[in-house]
Structure 1
Amino acid sequence: MACVGLIAILTTLSVYCTRKRKTRDEVAEEELELDSPTNKERHAEDGEQPSLSFFSIKTIMTATNNFSNENQLGQGGFGSVYKGLLDNGLDIAVKRLSQGSRQGTQEFKNEIKVIGRLQHRNLVKLLGYCIHKGERMLIYEYLPNKSLDFFLFDSNHRMSLDWDTRFHIIFGIARGLLYLHQDSRLKIIHRDLKASNVLLDATMNPKISDFGMARIFGEDQLEAKTRQIVGTYGYMSPEYVMIGQYSVKSDAFSFGILLLEIISGKRSTYCDKERSSLNLIGQVWDLWKEGKALDIMDSTLGKSYPLDTALRCTQIGLLCVQESAFYRPSMLDVVFMLGNEVSIPSPHKPAFLFNYEIKQSESSSSGDPSVNAMTTTSIDAR
């Protein structure tokens, strides 16, 4: 009996060690089950599009010239992005996960789960994926004009963004978010909308990208909470930063920030030394109260924009960044207000109003200026 017990223990240990030795890509394939017949049948029953295409590592290596530096388009929290050319002449963008990145693995699975099921002219199209040993890659359509921040925050490139182009981009982003929130099969909260996550095609049509942080909501679900707050400073809503609560209204807040950035050509963290406001929201709010809202418009536009439309955009931006999520418009409301000359409500107090003079006064009254009562939440910059 003792021998039988020993054999049973050794067998259990052997199975355990074998499972532990599985490579990361084998585990990922088990978790994703992207090409399993059962998964394909389930998608068909749900009326969803079939599973994404699987690209071999050989195909990707050939397409990207072995991930050459000349083919690299950029780099972010997920990893690097490379341009590729398939044998059929199709240009692609390959998003390559940094090996050893646990967060990247979750993003990888999440993007496939979310964006792989959605199709809209203002969402980037995911073509497929590649898993090879420790490598994980996402294959997208290639968009030649890079991301919005490439144009928006560069003094030279911003000159090519005339008013019509900017309004077209604003309207396209709004329609993309409306599709995610209301018109798609799934109700999606993006959670990381920002200028660098809006890509531009050859004719400057905007396409929302990077769904690694996105969450699927139930049809009747209004909000959710998380303990892991991830996102980008300047774009996150106050309720998300403070208590981890997110909803369609937190996406609306991010859109409002992005809208104000597009019309002003300034980052959300912009600070004018001649004014007390320490960010773009405060700057716009101060000008709005003074009746000088159009002073925030990008100087590179000159006067070549319709005053009423520009003022309406500013007002919509302020409505979206209101401190209370209750008062923020839905994206359906935003699209309607952008596309029609209608009466728009006056905005309430926006979030994150910081005053330089108050900050200076508080610092000088403290015995030790290096000590303050503020705490910060650990946020992953992306």
Structure 2
Amino acid sequence: MLFPNNASEIKNFTISELLKATDNFSQANIVGCGGFGLVYKATLANGTKLAVKKLSGDFGMMEREFKAEVEVLSTAQHENLVSLQGYCVHNGFRLLIYSYMENGSLDYWLHEKRDVYSFGVVMLELLSGKRPVEVFKPKMSRELVGWVHHMRSEGKQEQIFDPILRGKGYEQEMVKVLDVACMCVNHNPMKRPTIQEVVDWLKTVGSLRDQNKS
């Protein structure tokens, strides 16, 4: 599994460390629940408190979510973003370890709005054929979300789409999915949709596709 250079500064926790720190993922330690899994409060042997996000669901989607979060949060530095401290890969487990915030904003950043952002990144990956962070690209096109916003502001929206998706007769649907993805990655979390709104919008796009086929 390949991560950006910054990810080398993030600790690779063992599953035994996390089992001990969360009391075997006890229900008593659950502090949040998002679209991609539960979040547990963890206490290390030295007393350090962390938050462990245990991803669940379809393995393919879980793997993409895991990679997207590590890639995005290991390169993003912002005072309003909870920091990624580490990760754990063990058999079918995919776990992300964050700083624990006592003031309650942990649930806000790791709950639905954080999941919606990550899902938006996954949609942008699928539409563009690009990775969330491409370290060998020029600075302007290196970070996927920023590049997409830039291309749209320049009126070059059609260039966002992966060439293998173009010319298939689904351009209208692709634009609508892109609109949804961009709402998901809005820089202001308060303006991001809920995951239910995303599902409803995508169902509408699916209905449009079915109508065009008939």
Contact 1:123–1:209 (CA under 8 A) maintained in structure 2: no
- Whose helix proportion is higher, 1 or 2? 2
Match of 2:176 in 1: 243
Which of the numbers 43, 47, 52 marks the counterpart of 2:10?
A: 52
The one-letter code of the counterpart of 2:27 is N
TM-score, length basis structure 1? 0.35
Contact 2:100–2:106 (CA under 8 A) maintained in structure 1: no
State the structure with more CA Rg.
Answer: 1
Gaps of 5+ in 1: 1-31, 151-192, 199-207, 227-238, 262-266, 270-374
Match of 1:64 in 2: 22
Q: 1:212 & 1:243 partners in 2: Cα distance?
A: 15
Which SS does the other structure have where 1:120 is aligned? Answer: coil
Q: 1:244 & 1:105 partners in 2: Cα distance?
A: 21
Which of the numbers 197, 210, 217 marks the counterpart of 2:113?
A: 197
State the Cα distance separating 1:118 from its structure 2 match. Answer: 2.2
Q: 2:103 & 2:117 partners in 1: Cα distance?
A: 16
Q: 1:113 & 1:260 partners in 2: Cα distance?
A: 20
Flag the 1:148–1:136 CA change in 2: closer, same or farther, 3 A.
Answer: closer
When the two chains are superposed, the root-mean-square deviation of aligned CA atoms in Å is 4.2
TM-score, length basis structure 2? 0.58
The one-letter code of the counterpart of 2:177 is G
The one-letter code of the counterpart of 1:61 is L
The one-letter code of the counterpart of 1:95 is K
Match of 1:80 in 2: 38
Contact 2:35–2:112 (CA under 8 A) maintained in structure 1: no
Please list, as runs of the form range in 1=range in 2, the aligned pairs for 1:1-382 lying within 5 A after superposition.
Answer: 32-33=1-2, 43=5, 48=6, 50-98=8-56, 100-147=58-105, 196-197=112-113, 211=118, 213-214=120-121, 216=132, 219-220=140-141, 221=147, 222-223=151-152, 224-225=160-161, 243-246=176-179, 250=183, 255=188, 258=190, 376-378=204-206
Contact 1:197–1:209 (CA under 8 A) maintained in structure 2: yes
What is the percent sequence identity of the aligned residues?
Answer: 31
The alignment of Structure 1 onto Structure 2 pairs a total of residues equal to 162
Contact 1:55–1:130 (CA under 8 A) maintained in structure 2: yes
For residues 317-364 of structure 1, the C-alpha deviation after alignment (integer angstroms, 9 at most, x for no partner) is xxxxxxxxxxxxxxxxxxxxxxxxxxxxxxxxxxxxxxxxxxxxxxxx
Q: 1:83 & 1:148 partners in 2: Cα distance?
A: 10
State the Cα distance separating 1:241 from its structure 2 match. Answer: 8.4
Flag the 1:77–1:248 CA change in 2: closer, same or farther, 3 A.
Answer: closer
Q: 1:195 & 1:69 partners in 2: Cα distance?
A: 17
Flag the 1:242–1:212 CA change in 2: closer, same or farther, 3 A.
Answer: closer
Contact 2:117–2:184 (CA under 8 A) maintained in structure 1: no
Q: 1:133 & 1:244 partners in 2: Cα distance?
A: 33
Q: 1:240 & 1:124 partners in 2: Cα distance?
A: 34
Q: 2:35 & 2:104 partners in 1: Cα distance?
A: 17
Flag the 1:126–1:254 CA change in 2: closer, same or farther, 3 A.
Answer: closer
For residues 221-250 of structure 1, the C-alpha deviation after alignment (integer angstroms, 9 at most, x for no partner) is 414348xxxxxxxxxxxx998622259974
Gaps of 5+ in 2: 125-131, 142-146, 153-159, 163-171, 197-202, 208-214
